[in-house]
Amino acid sequence: MTATRTIRPGMPVSELETPVLTIDMDAMERNLASMLGMLAGSGVGLRPHLKTAKSPALAQRMIDAGAVGICCAKLSEAEVMADAGIADILLTSEVAGPGTFDRLVALAQRLPGFKAVVDNHWAVAEIASRARARDIIVNLLIELDVHTHRSGQPTPEGTLALANIIRDTEGVRLIGVHGYAGHAQVRPLEDRQRLNGEAMALLSETVELLREHNHELAIVSGGGTGTAEMDVANGILNEVQAGSFLLMDTLYRDAGLQFENALRCRSTIISRPTPERAVCDAGGKTLSSDGGKAEVESHRGVRYTHGSDEHGSLAVDPTQLDRELNIGDTITLLPSHVCTTVNLHDQFVGVRNGVVEAVWPIATRGHVW
């Protein structure tokens, strides 16, 4: 027998079984309007990264509001989004290994708006041979390592050499470059400005070099929630891959971003062993800790100290409590890292004015292949 819980539009939030992820609909909508307003008139489009929200429903909401398409980190994410009717998808991670190139080219055959990043000639050859077998052309972006020290071509000259290979290879087409300054995103403002400035200088140099050698680059994509405003100002990118802005977390909030925390975890107090301690039902399987500890929002004087598998341990300062904290009471927590927390759950519950408005499957939960 499959375990289920009843969540339906119209029910009071207070009746939700916990732990459960909720989205403040008003805050989410304001975040989306704020991002689109920031980009309006700049020539920079929003291509939100769905490795964060992992939901076709939220992807479609952003497209309907004006996003140019979406990003996905993994092929399996892109396949789910394609099945849901999302047509313009950029795959932002390289692939290799059994079956992956066949799946990539099959997706390109289904979706004329599909494109993928590459950073090496072997991947170009593998994609191209399969594309020729299907009599299609796969659109590619070259990924540049803009000092993130992850994947990507590390130099403008290396990027040019790969661009020349793509131009001379039947079955693939170069349509742009990809430079994501991931290391600059969740930093204090001055650090973000410095690191992103260095990254975009390298990207700009590379774009200029490629265009000098007659490579047409329709797309220059990168950026994220932490750098979107400065990416608009510098005029190098024409797409911003922000994702966390929609739901937010404490990492981005503490870095000084002005978007609102829309994502929360509702949890129930299941034990109160001493006046200085409490235990809730949101442990490590509910809240990720790679970005730090979750933050108790609902009660002053209560601090989330750590999560074991199923239990969240709370430190309580009885002198600071602004209300009682008893077994059976509900607390709300702000996740520290939105992307990894969302990947632990099956669904979002959209709420407005204390009432459930929508229930959305987190359809690409666990899709890491």
| 338-359 per-position pLDDT tens digit | 999 999 999 999 999 999 999 9
Residue 4: the pLDDT is 78
Scan for tokens 């970005």, then name that residue.
291
DSSP symbol at 238: S
Same domain, 201 and 266: no
**Greatest Cα-to-Cα distance within the chain, rounded to the nearest angstrom:** 72
Beta pairing class for 70-72 and 263-274 = unpaired
Domain boundary among 199, 220, 243: 243
Same domain, 303 and 195: no
- Within a domain: 366: no
Same domain, 148 and 282: no
Mean pLDDT across the stretch 143-151?
A: 97
Instruction: Give yes or no for a cis peptide into 275 (omega within 30° of 0).
Output: no
Same domain, 146 and 269: no
Cβ pair 354, 299 in contact under 8 A = no
* CA–CA distance, 105 with 114 (Å, rounded to integer): 9
| 303-343 per-position pLDDT tens digit | 999 999 999 999 999 999 999 999 999 999 999 999 999 99
Same domain, 200 and 111: yes
Closest by CA to 107, choosing from 132, 83, 71, 135, is: 83
Same domain, 279 and 192: no
* CA–CA distance, 46 with 198 (Å, rounded to integer): 22
Q: What is the pTM of this model?
A: 0.96
Supply the CATH number for residue 286's domain: 2.40.37.20
Model confidence at 2: pLDDT above 70: no
| 77-108 per-position pLDDT tens digit | 999 999 999 999 999 999 999 999 999 999 99
* CA–CA distance, 212 with 208 (Å, rounded to integer): 6
- Within a domain: 248: no
The mean pLDDT value of the chain amounts to: 97
Domain extent, residue 334, equals 13-21+258-361
Domain boundary among 219, 243, 267: 243
Q: 222: pLDDT confidence band, cut at 50, 70 and 90?
A: very high
The count of domains in the chain is 2
Residue 162: the pLDDT is 98
Type of residue found at 309: D
φ/ψ of residue 140, rounded to 5: -125, 150
Mean pLDDT across the stretch 278-304?
A: 97
Mean pLDDT across the stretch 6-12?
A: 95
DSSP structure string for 142-194: EEB--SS-SSSBSSHHHHHHHHHHHHTSTTEEEEEEEE--GGGSSS-HHHHHH
φ/ψ of residue 63, rounded to 5: -65, -45
φ/ψ of residue 149, rounded to 5: 60, 50
Same domain, 84 and 111: yes
| 170-211 per-position pLDDT tens digit | 999 999 999 999 999 999 999 999 999 999 999 999 999 999
Same domain, 226 and 318: no
Residue 5: the pLDDT is 87
Cβ pair 311, 364 in contact under 8 A = no
Residue 315: the pLDDT is 98
| 267-286 per-position pLDDT tens digit | 999 999 999 999 999 999 99
What is the distance of C-alpha 268 from the center of its chain?
Answer: 28
- Within a domain: 282: yes
Same domain, 98 and 171: yes
Q: 1: pLDDT confidence band, cut at 50, 70 and 90?
A: low
Cβ pair 200, 234 in contact under 8 A = yes
